[in-house]
Amino acid sequence: MRLSIPTPTTSAVEIGPLTIHFYALCIIAGVALAIWLGNRRFTRSHEGLEGVVADVAIVAIPSGVIGGRVYHVLTSPELYFGRDAHVLDALKIWNGGLGIWGAISLGTIGAYLSYKRIGRDRELPPFSVFAGALAPGVALAQVIGRWGNWFNGELFGKPLDAPWALSIPVGLRPMGYKEFETFHPTFLYESIWCIAIAVILIYLTPRFSGGAIFSLYVAGYSAGRFFIEGLRIDQAHSLGALRLNQYVSLLLTLAGVLAFTRFSRSKR
């Protein structure tokens, strides 16, 4: 039998009346890691501010989930509002479908507003410092979150014949690819890329300001996502030769680079 990465045969487990989805568990585990690492990095250089990361997370995490889902629904409306579609499926986030751009955007806004609210009663450093402390943890949260796609057997890439290819059951293969058995494991590519980003950000933290670190995270992730997105074969809106998310990746890569050049002039 050809060597390949198997797709899990189940994506959930039932315990009594409860159904626990592995996709949701991956998201929760990633969030927990981001909070732990972010708190450790933030309080290491700012003593006496323990608990700030957790307090901000109370607002930022729901905001990120809502933003990610809204982005996914808006960029794939035919899945929820088209013919034979069910509108209520838009609420079933355990089936997958969280757009990272929406999650980061609304999550950052929620974090900023919560951070400013806490700053009314406590003396806090600039928000850019806080964002830089959280950036590596956010990247590692994406590492774990992407494995939720593996459990769901979704968002894989083009057909691939290699030892690291992902074996996809015929029922999960999109139209036009039923005859292929193995595909690019884009979830794995993105996980490895995010690990590299987190390591680089941690290494560069002593050299750059928090704003520069967060900008580098945005630019680095977006650049990698551009190429990984180009491998995917799931249904998506396209313009010319590129998918919608690739255009967004290009814009955010440019924005991240410009922001990095600005913040890198600031003292750490």
pLDDT digits (tens, 9 = 90+) for 131-156: 999 999 999 999 999 999 999 998 89
Contacts 24+ apart (CB under 8 A), 105-109: 105/67, 105/71, 106/63, 106/64, 106/66, 106/67, 106/68, 106/70, 107/60, 107/61, 107/63, 107/64, 107/67, 107/68, 108/60, 109/63, 109/67
Q: What percent of the chain has pLDDT over 90?
A: 68
Q: What is the mean pLDDT of residues 231-253?
A: 90
* CA 73 from centroid of its chain's CA atoms: 16
Predicted model pTM: 0.89
Q: Does an H or E element contain 38, and which? A: helix 22-45
Give the max Cα distance, the chain: 63
Cβ atoms of residues 176 and 221 within 8 Å: no
Q: What is the mean pLDDT of residues 194-204?
A: 98
Q: What is the mean pLDDT of residues 20-35?
A: 92
Nearest to 159 by CA among 179, 142, 144, 145: 179
In this predicted model, which residue has the larger pLDDT, 90 or 244? Answer: 244
Cβ atoms of residues 73 and 80 within 8 Å: yes
Which tens digits make up the pLDDT trace of 202-240?
999 999 999 999 999 999 999 999 999 999 998 888 888
Angle between helices 127-152 and 210-229 (to 10 degrees): 20
pLDDT at 266: 67
Cβ atoms of residues 153 and 229 within 8 Å: no
pLDDT at 1: 44
- Token pair of 227, please? 């190429």
- Token pair of 118, please? 């806490």
Cβ atoms of residues 82 and 122 within 8 Å: no
d(CA 124, CA 115): 8
Which tens digits make up the pLDDT trace of 87-126?
877 777 777 677 888 898 999 999 999 999 999 988 999 9
What is the CB neighbour count within 10 angstroms for residue 184?
20
E-strand stretches of 17-173: 18-21, 166-167
E-strand stretches of the chain: 12-15, 18-21, 166-167, 182-183, 238-239, 242-243
